[in-house]
Structure 1
Amino acid sequence: MGALALGAAFAASWVLTAEYTTEQTVERTFVIDEDFTKVRKIMVRTNATKEIMTMGGTSEFVEQKWEEGTINTGAENIGEALLKTVFSADPNWKLELHGILKVRTLDDYVGREVVTLNQNVEISPNEIDSVSKLEEGSERLKGYELTTILEREEDHTRIDLKLTQKIKTHAPWFAHRIADRRVRESAAKSIEKQEQAMIQLINDNKDKSWLLPLN
């Protein structure tokens, strides 16, 4: 009986402490029924390029720093550089930004942890391409990459979102599929919220006078 009880206790302990790392990717595409130039100007004027990562509601902004030399417009700061470049009349302008972004995670699986991501943003007359990739994670967050692409399509704007998360969970072998599903659902919920937040951002600003002229 003693050996049986000991074995049962060991098995229960193993079930409670077993670790499993799952990596899940979700994608989402939607359309905003506004001209891309308007959408691009709103994203820049509201400084949404730094907040794209947090629009899903599973993290909050902590800090952002751009690398020296990534701005070459004669501006004194990133906000002025964005305005000078993106509101420029030059039809061939392009802005590339490289830096780090720190956010505090709010995900149920990860908890409240500050993590660091590399952020690369390219803005041109017809596209915004933002990639945020994990540089310094936490005990449970082992990988993270969010790609956000806004692209001109005729008289509207197409937005593609792709999120990959790699999270360490407490799950024995028989619960791996459950862990996979929950992490995938968490990622899907995050980019669904991001879609809602981006649509709301555009709706809140689409009639602002500073959008004109649309060039």
Structure 2
Amino acid sequence: MNHPQPPLRKPFGSNDIPAIRPGVNTAIGVEARPAFSTRATIFVLGIALLIFIGGMVAWSGWSVEHRATAYQDRSIVVDCDFAKFRQIMVRKNATAAIVEHSGMTLLDERIQDVALDTSGDDRPLLNAIRGVSKTDVAAVKQLTVQLDDPTLEASELVLRQNVDIQQDSFHVTTVSEGPAGRLENYKTTLDAVPNEAEAGTTEAVAGGTRIKLTVEMTVRVKVPRLFRHRADAGVQDAADDAIQGQADAIEQFIARYADDAFILPELNR
């Protein structure tokens, strides 16, 4: 019985390799396209970059509450001996003059407590009349001032003032009792001592009074996040102006009475 013979296969050669055309899927006979073309990829990346840049701009321009704190100090010497300086500061209303040169207006001044120590003064009344009192004085005042800066969003500020006067020193600390509008904290100090030559210098002792002033404030401002440094600079400028105003006020105030033979107290305070 004759069995049919299988057909002979041709030798496998290059003619048996199907031609492959670029872009054509030979398995299903359709054109194969890449998932994303180069142009589409660039477009997507560009959109993503624009979104990122837009987000950064929005973040930096978003307004935030920022607390800007500033500090400044100044030392001056007034041509008035310390005993007379002390007499002028006690008997005349220096507070109003100093406050008005700090961007504020004094509305009310109340003495809350006074303590006198005459243990170091054998003739307190006579020496007080002569203007050479050796009595130590400690006093507490409450000041109400009007704020002249509309950006602070407050019209008045209440301050607590502590005064410590001794025979060879004069110290005043003034601190806000609480926030007022955007002004969260305000503090000033005044320290006065007899002017003396510093060790190792040739400075002459002229009998004047050396005064050191400090101002510190914290202001809450609403600014774009990117411009917080400008807010800091603006508050620092305010502190600089305040310290300069106080220095000018004290120099002018002391010069007004320095040549008077008698320093009479103001009775309408």
Question: Who is 1:191 aligned against?
Answer: 243
- Within 5 Å, give how 1:1-215 maps onto structure 2: 11=58, 15=61, 17-48=63-94, 50-51=95-96, 54-68=99-113, 70-71=114-115, 87=128, 92-107=134-149, 109-111=151-153, 113-154=155-196, 155-211=207-263
Cα distance change on mapping 1:203 and 1:53 into 2, 3 Å:
closer
Are 1:165 and 1:187, in contact at CA under 8 Å, matched by a contact in 2?
yes
1:94-113 alpha-carbon deviations (Å, 9 max, x no partner): 10001311111123642552
1:115-142 alpha-carbon deviations (Å, 9 max, x no partner): 1111100112222111011112212000
Cα distance change on mapping 1:95 and 1:51 into 2, 3 Å:
same
Unaligned residue ranges in structure 1 (runs of 5+): 74-82
The size of the alignment, in residue pairs, is 194
Are 2:116 and 2:138, in contact at CA under 8 Å, matched by a contact in 1?
no
1:40-86 alpha-carbon deviations (Å, 9 max, x no partner): 111122121x3365043311101122224x2458xxxxxxxxx9698
TM-score by length of 2: 0.63
TM-score by length of 1: 0.78
Identify the structure with bigger relative contact order (alpha carbons < 8 Å, sequence gap 6+): 1
Structure 1 vs Structure 2 CA RMSD: 3.0
1:139-194 alpha-carbon deviations (Å, 9 max, x no partner): 20001110111111241111111111000112122111111111111111111011
Counterpart code for 1:115? L
1:190-213 alpha-carbon deviations (Å, 9 max, x no partner): 11011111111111111112149x
Unaligned residue ranges in structure 2 (runs of 5+): 1-50, 118-123, 197-206, 265-269
Q: Computing the radius of gyration over CA atoms, which structure comes out larger, 1 or 2?
A: 2
